[in-house]
């Protein structure tokens, strides 16, 4: 589909693979490519698997863009938060196959999916914004509040604590962890299982369950448009 996000459809499962340098930096172009891929997956009525490169899902927003100007940073965060909101309301299930590290916006991709599988190893998963001098944006706070355990929420958002894969399961970033060589098959098995559910019921139930949260997230995204990071 693009150099940044490849698209492979197989047996009603659309695999979206991020490919943007060593850390799969989230840029405006990558967000656009992901939205295009989700458009295609919706047309194909496909369960989605979102994955990265061996060792990393994503290291977060492209820091060259984030430090280029305050407006550029605001625009990229708005695009990324809008993508997260779209993922949470996507009419078909989204599985993330997290190949290793998932940092900052990479971890927010985990918090925006329906099912998340990580891999064993010396990998860091979490929200390091305060470690690198960034005040957490409103939308990020609400995403974390909604998906993380109560005890992990403050440690993650306020303290910038990072988790190993097993700790990420306890915190709420991941649902399970497998050996690296098992990730592809585990993600496909999960996607095939999700294919069996009634998609109309899935979509309506997802929107009903997340209705209040999506409204809160919309307010947070709008607040972020008018406040410096």
- pLDDT for the residue 2: 81
Angle at 175 between CA 198 and CA 57, to 5 degrees: 100
CATH of the domain at 68: 3.90.226.10
Q: Are 97 and 50 in contact (CB under 8 A)?
A: yes
pTM: 0.96
Q: Are 97 and 49 in contact (CB under 8 A)?
A: yes
Asked if the structure places residue 229 within a domain, the reply is no
- pLDDT for the residue 1: 63
Asked if the structure places residue 137 within a domain, the reply is yes
Asked if the structure places residue 71 within a domain, the reply is yes
- CA max distance for the chain: 47
How far are the Cα atoms of 128, 136, 139, 189 from residue 81, in angstroms, in the given order?
A: 17, 12, 7, 29
Residue numbers of the domain that contains 145: 5-224
Asked if the structure places residue 109 within a domain, the reply is yes
- pLDDT for the residue 229: 57
- pLDDT for the residue 93: 98
Domain count, the chain: 1
pLDDT tens digits in sequence order for the chain, 229 residues long: 689 999 999 999 999 999 999 999 999 999 999 999 999 999 999 999 999 999 999 999 999 999 999 999 999 999 999 999 999 999 999 999 999 999 999 999 999 999 999 999 999 999 999 999 999 999 999 999 999 999 999 999 999 999 999 999 999 999 999 999 999 999 999 999 999 999 999 999 999 999 999 999 999 999 998 876 5
Asked if the structure places residue 163 within a domain, the reply is yes
- pLDDT for the residue 179: 98
Asked if the structure places residue 22 within a domain, the reply is yes
């Amino acid at each position: 589909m693009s150099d940044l996000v490849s698209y492979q459809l197989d047996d009603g499962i659309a695999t979206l693979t991020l490919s943007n340098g060593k850390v799969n930096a989230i840029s405006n172009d990558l967000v656009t490519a992901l939205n295009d891929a989700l458009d295609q997956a919706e047309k194909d009525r496909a369960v989605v698997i979102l994955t990265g490169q061996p060792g990393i899902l994503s290291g977060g927003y492209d820091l060259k863009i984030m430090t280029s100007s305050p407006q550029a940073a605001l625009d990229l965060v708005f695009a990324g938060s809008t993508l997260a909101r779209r993922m949470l309301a996507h009419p078909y299930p989204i599985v993330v196959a997290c190949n290793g590290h998932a940092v900052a916006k990479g971890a927010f991709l985990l918090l925006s999916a329906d099912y998340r599988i990580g891999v064993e190893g010396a990998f860091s998963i979490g929200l390091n914004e305060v470690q690198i001098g960034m005040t957490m944006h409103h939308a990020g706070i609400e995403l974390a509040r909604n998906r993380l355990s109560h005890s992990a929420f403050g440690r993650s958002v306020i303290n910038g604590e990072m988790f190993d894969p097993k700790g990420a399961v306890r915190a709420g970033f991941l649902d399970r962890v497998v050996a690296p060589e098992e990730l592809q098959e585990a993600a496909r098995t999960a996607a095939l299982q999700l294919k069996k559910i009634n998609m109309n019921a899935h979509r309506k139930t997802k929107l009903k369950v997340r209705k209040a949260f999506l409204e809160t997230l919309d307010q947070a995204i709008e607040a972020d448009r008018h406040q410096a990071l």
